[in-house]
Amino acid sequence: MEFNQSLKLKEQWGNKPCDHPKVEKVYYAGAFVLNYSCILCGTDFTVAEKLELEQMRKKQGQQTSQVH
Ligand SMILES: [Zn+2]
Protein backbone atom coordinates (compact mmCIF):
# COMPACT_ATOMS: atom_id res chain seq x y z
CA MET A 1 0.00 0.00 0.00
CA GLU A 2 1.05 3.58 -0.32
CA PHE A 3 2.70 5.37 2.55
CA ASN A 4 -0.04 8.00 2.66
CA GLN A 5 -2.67 5.30 2.86
CA SER A 6 -1.02 3.76 5.90
CA LEU A 7 -1.02 7.17 7.57
CA LYS A 8 -4.73 7.50 6.87
CA LEU A 9 -5.40 4.04 8.28
CA LYS A 10 -3.59 4.99 11.48
CA GLU A 11 -5.75 8.09 11.87
CA GLN A 12 -8.97 6.23 11.18
CA TRP A 13 -8.15 3.24 13.38
CA GLY A 14 -7.07 5.27 16.42
CA ASN A 15 -6.16 3.24 19.50
CA LYS A 16 -8.38 0.24 18.94
CA PRO A 17 -6.73 -3.15 19.43
CA CYS A 18 -5.76 -5.03 16.29
CA ASP A 19 -4.09 -8.40 15.82
CA HIS A 20 -2.79 -7.40 12.41
CA PRO A 21 -4.25 -10.15 10.22
CA LYS A 22 -2.38 -8.94 7.16
CA VAL A 23 0.67 -6.75 6.68
CA GLU A 24 1.62 -5.28 3.35
CA LYS A 25 4.79 -3.75 2.03
CA VAL A 26 4.67 0.03 1.98
CA TYR A 27 5.82 2.09 -0.94
CA TYR A 28 6.32 5.77 -1.29
CA ALA A 29 6.25 7.61 -4.64
CA GLY A 30 6.43 4.27 -6.45
CA ALA A 31 9.52 3.06 -4.59
CA PHE A 32 9.37 0.40 -1.92
CA VAL A 33 10.43 1.45 1.54
CA LEU A 34 11.60 -1.14 4.04
CA ASN A 35 8.57 -1.10 6.27
CA TYR A 36 5.41 -3.12 6.25
CA SER A 37 2.03 -1.84 7.39
CA CYS A 38 -1.05 -3.58 8.74
CA ILE A 39 -3.86 -3.20 6.19
CA LEU A 40 -6.41 -2.66 8.96
CA CYS A 41 -4.80 -0.29 11.43
CA GLY A 42 -1.76 0.99 9.56
CA THR A 43 0.72 -0.02 12.26
CA ASP A 44 4.27 -0.07 10.93
CA PHE A 45 6.40 -3.19 11.03
CA THR A 46 10.03 -3.60 10.14
CA VAL A 47 10.98 -6.72 8.18
CA ALA A 48 12.19 -8.31 11.45
CA GLU A 49 8.96 -7.44 13.26
CA LYS A 50 6.90 -8.88 10.42
CA LEU A 51 8.83 -12.15 10.62
CA GLU A 52 8.35 -12.23 14.38
CA LEU A 53 4.63 -11.71 13.94
CA GLU A 54 4.44 -14.59 11.47
CA GLN A 55 6.45 -16.90 13.70
CA MET A 56 4.32 -16.00 16.70
CA ARG A 57 1.22 -16.76 14.66
CA LYS A 58 2.62 -20.14 13.59
CA LYS A 59 3.32 -21.02 17.22
CA GLN A 60 -0.16 -19.93 18.24
CA GLY A 61 -1.63 -22.01 15.43
CA GLN A 62 0.25 -25.07 16.64
CA GLN A 63 -0.92 -24.50 20.20
CA THR A 64 -4.50 -24.16 19.07
CA SER A 65 -4.37 -27.32 16.98
CA GLN A 66 -2.94 -29.26 19.93
CA VAL A 67 -5.89 -28.18 22.07
CA HIS A 68 -8.46 -29.43 19.58
ZN1 LIG B 1 -3.29 -4.05 12.69
Q: Do the Cβ atoms of 6 and 33 come closer than 8 Å?
A: no
Q: What's the 29 CA to ligand 1 centre distance in angstroms?
A: 23
* Structural domain that includes position 44: 3-67
Q: What is the pLDDT averaged over residues 23-33?
A: 84
d(CA 10, CA 5): 9
Number of domains in the chain: 1
Q: For residue 36, what are the β-bridge partners? A: 25, 45
Task: List pLDDT tens digits, range 16-26.
Answer: 999 999 999 99
**Percent of the chain whose predicted confidence (pLDDT) is above 70:** 91
Q: What's the 37 CA to ligand 1 centre distance in angstroms?
A: 8
Amino acid (1-letter code) at residue 13: W
* β-pairing verdict for 44-45 and 31-38: antiparallel
Q: What's the 36 CA to ligand 1 centre distance in angstroms?
A: 11
Does 40 score more than 90 pLDDT?
Answer: yes
Q: What's the 39 CA to ligand 1 centre distance in angstroms?
A: 7
